[in-house]
Amino acid sequence: MPRITAEDGVNVFARDLGEGDPIVFLHGWPLNHRMFEYQYTHLLDEGFRCIGIDLRGYGKSEKPYGDYSYDRFADDVRAVLDELDVDGATLAGFSMGGGTATRYMSRHDEARVDKLALLAPASPVITEKPDFPEGLDESDVNPLIEGARTDRAKMNADFAEMLFHTDQSDELIDWIWSLGMEASGQATIASAETWRDADLRPAMDDITVPTKIYHGVHDEVTPIEITGAVLEEGIENAELIRFENSGHGLVADETETVNEQLAEFAG
């Protein structure tokens, strides 16, 4: 599987499987492309090309000390799409990956992307701003960052327990924990500060492609009324799809429905 060199020389890992219409997956914090395992299984069988990117600092990508901004992540995605010669893609971003996808569409003029799928996105803005009192208080987010500084293993375990509305096996929770532990500590801290502080509302004006927002109504990490509803209103050609039995981790809470929705939208 290829490692693509970004403009600053950092190697970014991408898994490129299958043929057909491409779907490019951007993972959430603090995981990696493997979180979409049960999407790949279904969508490859349906005839899609699935490309999973490990954002820098995560999974099998290099883990430099330094910049973990949405601009940097978006530039890395562009490097991957250019190197793999991807065109007409559905860009699917989960949580922090949704923020990365939102920024990509604005910063790179929707290059190589025909459709946008945002899953429980950490976008456009999570925490309170002077003109956005609906956001979470920073005190709701900072314990995750402090936990990453002091006991990242416990923080990842606690975060994994927050993700789901339906019962999941202990083994799946352990697997989620293990994906988080593959990240670098500095990337975990710095990118959490990115999604905590970001305000991507201006980027919404630049998104013109058909957009679906898939969001669990029980999401406690990126609540639907803060993110999904704002994106639907702010993106010209967007539709919010509510998942009534999902929390933040809708890819496991309602796997079959997510897979069917993605296949229908991307086809």
Please give the Cα distance from 30 to 45 (Å, whole number).
Answer: 28
Contact 19, 86 (CB under 8 A): no
Active site residues: 95, 219, 248
Give the model confidence (pLDDT) of 195-236 as tens digits: 999 999 999 999 999 999 999 999 999 999 999 999 999 999
DSSP helix/strand/coil, 71? helix
Please give the Cα distance from 135 to 133 (Å, whole number).
Answer: 5
Sheet (strand 238-243) strand order = 3-5, 11-17, 49-53, 22-26, 89-94, 113-119, 211-216, 238-243
DSSP state, 110?
Answer: T
Res 259: pLDDT:
98
Which position has the token pair 């946008």? 116
Please give the Cα distance from 234 to 229 (Å, whole number).
Answer: 9
Contact 229, 134 (CB under 8 A): no
Q: Output helix, strand, coil percentages for the chain, rounded to the nearest 5.
A: 45, 20, 40
Report residue 2's pLDDT band, with 50, 70 and 90 as the boundaries.
confident
Q: Which residues of 153-190 are buried (b: 16+ CB within 10 A; e: fewer)?
A: eebbbebbeebbbeebeeeebeebbebbebbbebbbbb
Token couple for 37 = 């395992």
User: CATH for 3-266, among 3.10.129.10, 3.40.1280.10, 3.40.50.1820, 3.40.50.970?
Assistant: 3.40.50.1820
Give the model confidence (pLDDT) of 78-135 as tens digits: 999 999 999 999 999 999 999 999 999 999 999 999 999 999 999 999 999 999 999 9
Which position has the token pair 């793999």? 84
Give the model confidence (pLDDT) of 148-191 as tens digits: 999 999 999 999 999 999 999 999 999 999 999 999 999 999 99
How far does the chain reach from its first CA to its final CA, in angstroms?
25
Please give the Cα distance from 219 to 227 (Å, whole number).
Answer: 10
Give the model confidence (pLDDT) of 40-87 as tens digits: 999 999 999 999 999 999 999 999 999 999 999 999 999 999 999 999
Please give the Cα distance from 207 to 121 (Å, whole number).
Answer: 15
Res 92: pLDDT:
98
The reply to whether omega before 2 is within 30° of 0 (cis) is no
Please give the Cα distance from 115 to 128 (Å, whole number).
Answer: 29
CA angle 212, 123, 140 (to 5 degrees): 135
Question: Would the pLDDT of 1 be above 60?
Answer: no
Question: Strand ranges (DSSP E) for 19-121?
Answer: 22-26, 49-53, 89-94, 113-119
